[in-house]
Chains A and B, each alone.
Chain A
Amino acid sequence: MGFEKFGRISFTAQTKVAAFVDHLERGEVVASRCTQCGARYFPPRADCYRCLSDKVVLEPIQGTGRLVSFTTANYAPTGFEADVPYTLAMAEFDGLKVFGRMSKEVPEQELAVGLPVRLKVVRMPDGQLSYEFVKA
């Protein structure tokens, strides 16, 4: 339990990486690193497929990333209608790609592939936790 606090709507309560949410509480977005072979993963994983180890640690993603792509959705699946329009985006941070939403504070005309961004944890009015991209 615990993971259901992640995102506008969560579809999963149980995962071995539920501590991701505890890190969000502390203002951090974390990736996993395998302590056996050093492989890093985002989204974080409880298991390393490269060496089959389950000895992983969660570490904050820091610094500046760059937008790989983005899109502004004018339609939404059930439960997300109130957010429309919203911008989905992917950014790369030191070799790790992160998927999420762009902050509504960034004007659409400033969005561009390659734009420097950083991660910011957000708490929604109903207490749900997530993260978004803001301009670096």
Chain B
Amino acid sequence: MAKDVAIIGVGQSAFVRGYEGSIRELAFEAFREAMADAGITVKDIDASVICSAPEYDKQRSPSGLIAEYLGLNPQPTFCLETICSSSSMGLRAGYSLIKSGLHDIVVVLGFQKMSEISSADSQERMGRGADIMWESPFGTMMPAYYAMHARAHFARYGTTEKDLALIRVKSAKYGALNEKAVYRKGLNLEQVLTSEYISTPLKKFDCCANADGASCLILARAEKAKEISQKPVWILGLGAASAPMTLTGREDLTGLSCAREAARQAYAMAGVGPKDIDVAEVHDCFTIAELMAYEDLGFAEPGKGAELIREGETYVEGRIPVNVDGGLLSKGHPIGATGGSQIRTIVLQLRGEAGPVQVKGAEIGLVHNIGGVGIYGAVTILGR
């Protein structure tokens, strides 16, 4: 378990609907918090990686603008995009910049102002998030793709709409406790089950909340981290993989192969297995995505994911607490900021600073962050 690169600062803006400011100010909210957390100044930073899904940005080449506003000139900066997994891939890039010897301290800043473009523009772009030659012409959209995974999982393993609803009930319970979450109302099983169908069998409450937000991570080389930080959290394992964008290229629809491959790599690098994970953040853009993550990460055998939620094992007091910050479902999903927010949650857990949702004695945590419908997969393992 090599401890070469640590996270020494984390920050997140509140995730909100219709942020009343520009993207630079949104980014600064996360940056200010992370810098205060790390206790450093802009002169200490060697490079920045800016993470965003450009289809939601009016600003072209946002890294130039964001780096300027954060005061990070003349340090190098660049933008990284893998849709919803952008800031986990940003962490991977930041880790590489440090591990290669190029830099000592790197900032990974993820943001998305989903309300930057009109709802009509958003609807138009949404249809082009799939293969525009062979799938978009049929009128595809994200919920439909995940719905097809849900249907396949139901047919093969007997998973039910109620199982998925149980995941949202858990999410809502913890979202209500998270001051930075966009959706803070509790939900009971009946409310979830009777919400309208978006794309069968997925209903309104099976889908994550839309939000504007930013996240920030500050990474440092080991010597620097020990010098600066009282509680460095180490990057123990990194996994990343891809899978065909077209659904027809996938082996099966009951899980995400990019997640399974990224998990395999991350576990191998960290020298740990699923049983060693004390707390996890998984990419629950839809309830079915969390269920598949249980299986893809090895928390449950294939087809047995539903048992975990039925038995309450993914609650704070359960065997493997998952998304006890409310997840994307309640916290909201500002595309480019999401991975960084998940990583922040795990960093706080490992430092013992997670407040009412603290998992007692958490030493090793995992983050699973997916781009698109399983196109890009990133799994990160962190430890004290």
Residues in A103-119 with C-beta less than 8 Å from chain B: 112-114
B132 within 8 A of A: yes
| B138 close to A99 (CB less than 8 A) | yes
Question: Once bound together, how far apart are the Cα atoms of A70 and B249, in whole Å?
Answer: 16
- A3, A11, A73, A83: the one within 8 Å of B144 (CB): A73
A134 within 8 A of B: no
Task: Please name all residues of chain B whose beta carbon is closer than 8 Å to the beta carbon of A114 when the two chains form the complex.
Answer: 155
| Stretch of B51-59, B86-94, B191-199, B231-239 at the chain-chain interface | B191-199
Task: Please name all residues of chain A whose beta carbon is closer than 8 Å to the beta carbon of B200 when the two chains form the complex.
Answer: 71-72, 74
| A69 close to B148 (CB less than 8 A) | yes
Task: Please name all residues of chain A whose beta carbon is closer than 8 Å to the beta carbon of B177 when the two chains form the complex.
Answer: none
A27 within 8 A of B: no
Q: Separation in Å of the B207 CB from the closest CB of chain A?
A: 10
| A88 close to B151 (CB less than 8 A) | no
Task: Please name all residues of chain A whose beta carbon is closer than 8 Å to the beta carbon of B155 when the two chains form the complex.
Answer: 69, 112-114
Q: Separation in Å of the A92 CB from the closest CB of chain B?
A: 9
Question: Once bound together, how far apart are the Cα atoms of A101 and B144, in whole Å?
Answer: 12
- A70, A73, A96: the one within 8 Å of B151 (CB): A70
Question: Once bound together, how far apart are the Cα atoms of A3 and B196, in whole Å?
Answer: 36
- A43, A74, A98: the one within 8 Å of B199 (CB): A74
| B137 close to A99 (CB less than 8 A) | no
Chain A interface category by residue count: 35 or more
Question: Once bound together, how far apart are the Cα atoms of A128 and B143, in whole Å?
Answer: 26
* B side interface size, CB within 8 A: 39
B229 within 8 A of A: no
Question: Once bound together, how far apart are the Cα atoms of A25 and B200, in whole Å?
Answer: 32
Residue of B nearest to A76 (CB): B139
Give the A-B contact count at a CB cut-off of 8 A: 118
| A79 close to B138 (CB less than 8 A) | no
B124 within 8 A of A: yes
Given known pairs A71-B200, A72-B197, the reply for A77 and B127 (CB within 8 Å) is: yes
Residues in A1-49 with C-beta less than 8 Å from chain B: 3, 6-12, 15, 42-43
Task: Please name all residues of chain B whose beta carbon is closer than 8 Å to the beta carbon of A69 when the two chains form the complex.
Answer: 148-149, 151-152, 155, 253
| B248 close to A11 (CB less than 8 A) | no
Given known pairs A69-B253, A76-B139, A113-B151, the reply for A99 and B197 (CB within 8 Å) is: no
A68 within 8 A of B: yes
Question: Once bound together, how far apart are the Cα atoms of A57 and B253, in whole Å?
Answer: 29
A90 within 8 A of B: yes
- B127, B133, B249: the one within 8 Å of A80 (CB): B127
Task: Please name all residues of chain A whose beta carbon is closer than 8 Å to the beta carbon of B75 when the two chains form the complex.
Answer: none
Task: Please name all residues of chain B whose beta carbon is closer than 8 Å to the beta carbon of A90 when the two chains form the complex.
Answer: 148, 247-248, 253
A97 within 8 A of B: yes
Residues in B136-182 with C-beta less than 8 Å from chain A: 136-141, 143-144, 147-149, 151-152, 155-156
Question: Once bound together, how far apart are the Cα atoms of A7 and B133, in whole Å?
Answer: 9
Residue of B nearest to A96 (CB): B248
| A43 close to B141 (CB less than 8 A) | no
Given known pairs A73-B139, A78-B124, the reply for A68 and B134 (CB within 8 Å) is: no
- B132, B201, B202: the one within 8 Å of A12 (CB): B132
Q: Separation in Å of the B148 CB from the closest CB of chain A?
A: 4
| A99 close to B135 (CB less than 8 A) | yes
| A99 close to B199 (CB less than 8 A) | no
| A71 close to B152 (CB less than 8 A) | no
Residues in B214-263 with C-beta less than 8 Å from chain A: 246-250, 253
Q: Separation in Å of the B242 CB from the closest CB of chain A?
A: 14
Can you spell out 8 A-B residue pairs with CB atoms less than 8 angstroms apart? A9-B136, A11-B128, A11-B137, A72-B197, A76-B139, A76-B141, A80-B127, A113-B155
Q: Nearest 5 pairs between A and B by C-beta?
A: A7-B137, A77-B127, A80-B139, A113-B155, A71-B147
17 new A-B pairs (CB below 8 Å) besides A43-B246, A97-B249, A130-B137? A8-B138, A11-B136, A43-B133, A43-B134, A43-B248, A69-B149, A71-B148, A71-B151, A77-B124, A78-B120, A88-B139, A88-B140, A90-B247, A97-B247, A98-B248, A99-B134, A99-B138
